[in-house]
Amino acid sequence: MPSRNFTLQPVGTVRSDRHEPIDDGWDAIAAHIEIDAEQFGPEALYGLDGFSHASVIFLFDRVPEEEIERGARHPRGNKDWPQIGIFAQRGKNRPNRLGHTICRILRVEGLHIYLEGLDAIDGTPVLDIKPVMEGFMPRGELKEPDWSKELMRGYWV
């Protein structure tokens, strides 16, 4: 497969009370996205407040190259859970360092989107924001292994 490189320009930045990538308790953290005023005006967000949720794609920009996982590992280093390939988990040490979360939109003010459930730390570059539409949600039954349900128990609390 030929190698292709892409350059992405952040559309905004996460502003949050959390400055360290701690694994759990994300719903307790106040967060918003500050859209880049040099690229966009408030009209770029027109209509977003008509949706209950947004899909946010961001960059785990503080993960060093030597910590990138390209194989398998125990999620969170927990040996009680099976070794899982990096593409079967959502950890930050991904090959392209991309994060993705569906967040509740609390309000939109000018170039600021206030959210609940944004699991990104202060200063994180935001690459894209899309409204969540029911028609794009999973069709059929959602299946996941028990270890992933255990991992998520305290994630949002």
Centroid of chain to Cα 152: 15
In a domain, 108, yes or no: yes
State the pLDDT at residue 12.
98
State the pLDDT at residue 30.
84
State the pLDDT at residue 112.
98
Between CA 68 and CA 91 the distance in angstroms is: 10
State the pLDDT at residue 82.
94
State the pLDDT at residue 127.
98
State the pLDDT at residue 136.
93
State the pLDDT at residue 66.
96
In a domain, 55, yes or no: yes
**How many folded domains does the chain comprise?**
1
In a domain, 41, yes or no: yes
| 31-35/112-116 β-pairing | antiparallel
Residue with tokens 């899982």: 84
In a domain, 111, yes or no: yes
Write the CATH number for 128: 2.40.30.70
In a domain, 73, yes or no: no
Residues of the chain with pLDDT under 70: none
State the pLDDT at residue 108.
98
Interval 70-79: pLDDT, tens: 999 999 889 9
What is the DSSP annotation of the chain? ----------SEEEEES--S--SS-GGGS-EEEEE-TTT--GGGGTTGGGSSEEEEEEE-TT--GGG--SSEE-GGG-TTSPPEEGGGS--S--TT-EEEEEEEEEEEETTEEEEES----TTPEEEEEEE--GGGSPPS-----HHHHHHTTTT--
In a domain, 58, yes or no: yes
In a domain, 124, yes or no: yes
| Domain range enclosing 28 | 12-65+93-151
